[in-house]
Amino acid sequence: MLKQSLNQKMLQRLSPQQIQLIKLLELPALQLEQRIKKEIEENPVLEEGEQQDEYSKDEKDEPEEEKDEFDEEFSLDDYISDDEIPDYKLSVNNYSKDDKIIDIPYSEGFSLQEHLLEQLRLKKLNDTEEILSKYLIGSLDGAGYLRRELDAIIDDLAFSHNISTTIEELEHSLKIVQSLDPVGIGARNLQECLILQIENKEENSEIYKNAKIILSDYFEEFSKRHYNKIIKGMGISNDNIKDAMDTIIKLNPKPGGNFSSSLNKTAQQITPDFILKIIDGEPMVTLNAKNIPMLRVSKTYEDMLRGIKGRKEKPSKSEKQAVGFVKQKLDTAKWFIEAIKQRQNTLLSTINAIIGFQKEYFILGDETKLRPMILKDIAELTNLDISTISRVANSKYIQTHFGIVPLKFFFSEGMETADGETVSTREIKRILQECIDGENKKKPLTDEKLAQILQDKGYKIARRTVAKYREQLDILVARLRKEL
């Protein structure tokens, strides 16, 4: 039975301008520069440079002649009056020419796909092999794996590219891809990746034979480090299995990981958004606006509007259309400049609050001086929303006298010690890492033992919390850290 009812709900919807402001807030320095260039290209009213000289006072004070009014929709007063077009000059270049801005570039080179396609060109392939091999190469992920089922790829080829193929043809082409360098590429899982690498070894020794058997027949036991089951099943000695395991460990689980992404071939630089200096023992921060241009509203378009407004005759239809176009672009230009200003003010407010909260750390560069700090702490200090602080912290970096550091590094939870002192969870993780680095790998420390060690040091911590921090540090459980 259908039933209709009325409900009232209060919903908060963001305007397009608010959404754009949020996007600007999220951009790091390098991307902001690109975003501004794009806006200048798309909006003829917006241009780089200092604000041009305004009209003389006498010109402004001249009485206006009476004329017919425009339709309200095309009134020019809103766009050329002194109140509505102030000095829209943007200047955030508060750096000194003596400041050294450090850019950290990622290494640039061939993408994995480019590297594989270059090799593919050297092979003698028929049309079907070439088409399918290229499609498979394009389907590899960043680590070099083919994560999709072959049946799904066949469907894609049929529906999206009108290419009909069989599972046998696709498997044959996958073998072609797997024959390329680096060895292990095109594998569908870790087991296949490691087996491909072992099979490629020229050595025909007992060690490599054992390694292949372990990967082929005892992969689950190998993954779980159940060495006794492997020894019993294969009937080999401890020394033999240790040699085989040492060989397997040297294989590359991510053969495509050393190549740049095909989706982001251009090397990207880490450009700091903030520059920190210690002046007279006090931390001082400025925005890195080295490549951010000053922006202004074009005087040419203002002159055009003034010219239309100053004429006695009523504007023509084409002139009204031109005014409508300029009106829209003026609105956009003025909003964009103000949005950039608001972004810069928000960034400065946030970073100053962070530096004030972590002052001792920024002066000394000692991680043990980091105080527990969450997004809410900075939100309260700045009177900004937590989501705003999160957007500022994401993908932003600060250049300090001890290196370039991401802002999100400074945020961590707190934990109370036995003495009632609150310490950063980063300190707990550091101690946890030190304990695991120094453990006996033949008898690695369990989470229970690690919790006990931390409790003995005065940190109130449960086993499940140790497990959580261990996982955040990408450290395996004890049984998987065990070595022979």
Instruction: Report pLDDT for 425.
Output: 77
Check pLDDT > 60 for residue 297.
yes
In the chain, the amino acid numbered 276 is L
CA pair distance 80, 381, nearest whole angstrom: 39
Q: Is the bond leading into 255 cis (omega within 30 degrees of zero)?
A: no
Element (H, E) at 283: strand 282-287
pTM of the model: 0.53
Q: What average pLDDT does this structure show over 412-427? A: 68
CA pair distance 94, 286, nearest whole angstrom: 7
In the chain, the amino acid numbered 1 is M
> Of the ranges 71-75, 200-204, 380-384, 474-478, which is most confident?
380-384
Q: What is residue 398's three-state secondary structure? A: strand
Number of alpha carbons in the 13 Å side-chain half-sphere of residue 242: 7
Find all residues with CB under 8 Å of 276, minimum gap 6, and list them: 283, 284, 285, 355, 362, 398, 399, 400, 401
For residue 225, the 8-state DSSP code is T
Number of alpha carbons in the 13 Å side-chain half-sphere of residue 85: 26
User: Please, which pLDDT band fits residue 245 given cuts at 50, 70 and 90?
Assistant: confident
CA pair distance 161, 136, nearest whole angstrom: 14
Within 10 Å of residue 445's Cβ, how many Cβ atoms?
A: 19
Instruction: Report pLDDT for 66.
Output: 42
Q: Identify the residue with better confidence: 413 or 252.
A: 252
Lowest-confidence segment of 30-39, 59-68, 167-176, 292-301 by average pLDDT: 59-68
| pLDDT tens digits for range 76-95 | 454 444 434 333 344 444 44
Q: What angle do CA 60, 62, 65 make, to 5 degrees?
A: 120
CA separation (Å) from 294 to 40, 319, 474? 11, 30, 45
CA pair distance 74, 102, nearest whole angstrom: 49
Instruction: Report pLDDT for 98.
Output: 52
Q: What average pLDDT does this structure show over 437-445? A: 86
Instruction: Report pLDDT for 175.
Output: 94
Find all residues with CB under 8 Å of 390, minimum gap 6, and list them: 375
Rounded-to-10 torsion of CA 446, 452, 456, 459: 100
Helix ranges (H only) for 358-384 are 359-364, 375-382
| Tokens standing for residue 187 | 């594998």
| Tokens standing for residue 189 | 């899982």
User: Please, which pLDDT band fits residue 62 given cuts at 50, 70 and 90?
Assistant: very low
* Residue with the two structure tokens 């190549």: 259
Lowest-confidence segment of 166-175, 278-287, 296-305 by average pLDDT: 296-305
The length of the chain is 484
Element (H, E) at 275: strand 274-279
Find all residues with CB under 8 Å of 349, minimum gap 6, and list them: 382, 384
The DSSP secondary structure of 433-465, one letter per residue, reads: HHHHHTS-TTSPPPHHHHHHHHHHTTB---HHH
Nearest alpha carbon to residue 356 among 378, 386, 376: 378
Find all residues with CB under 8 Å of 450, minimum gap 6, and list them: 432, 435, 436, 466, 470
User: Please, which pLDDT band fits residue 108 given cuts at 50, 70 and 90?
Assistant: very low
Check pLDDT > 90 for residue 378.
yes
Q: What average pLDDT does this structure show over 258-264? A: 52
Check pLDDT > 80 for residue 240.
yes
Q: Is 439 exposed, middle or buried (0-12, 13-18, 19+ CB in 10 A)?
A: middle
Q: What is residue 288's three-state secondary structure? A: coil
Check pLDDT > 60 for residue 143.
yes
- SS3 of 51-98: CCCCCCHHHHHCCCCCCCCCCHHHCCHHHHCCCCCCCCCCCCCCCCCC
Instruction: Report pLDDT for 326.
Output: 80
> In the beta sheet, which residues pair with residue 355?
none
Instruction: Report pLDDT for 380.
Output: 93
Instruction: Report pLDDT for 458.
Output: 82
CA pair distance 105, 37, nearest whole angstrom: 21
Q: Does domain 414-481 have CATH number 1.10.10.60?
A: yes
Element (H, E) at 365: none
Q: What average pLDDT does this structure show over 402-409? A: 86
Lowest-confidence segment of 14-28, 260-274, 338-352, 415-429 by average pLDDT: 260-274
Domain boundaries, given as residue ranges, for the chain:
16-54+69-96+290-338, 112-249, 269-288+343-410, 414-481
Instruction: Report pLDDT for 55.
Output: 41
Q: What average pLDDT does this structure show over 279-292? A: 86
| Tokens standing for residue 57 | 């006072």
| Tokens standing for residue 176 | 């072609």
CB 240 within 8 A of CB 210: yes
| pLDDT tens digits for range 16-59 | 667 777 888 888 888 888 888 888 888 888 888 765 544 434 44
Nearest alpha carbon to residue 479 among 448, 450, 442: 442
Instruction: Report pLDDT for 328.
Output: 84
For residue 312, the 8-state DSSP code is S
- Mean pLDDT of the chain, nearest integer: 78
Q: What is residue 277's three-state secondary structure? A: strand
Q: What average pLDDT does this structure show over 447-464? A: 86
In the chain, the amino acid numbered 97 is K
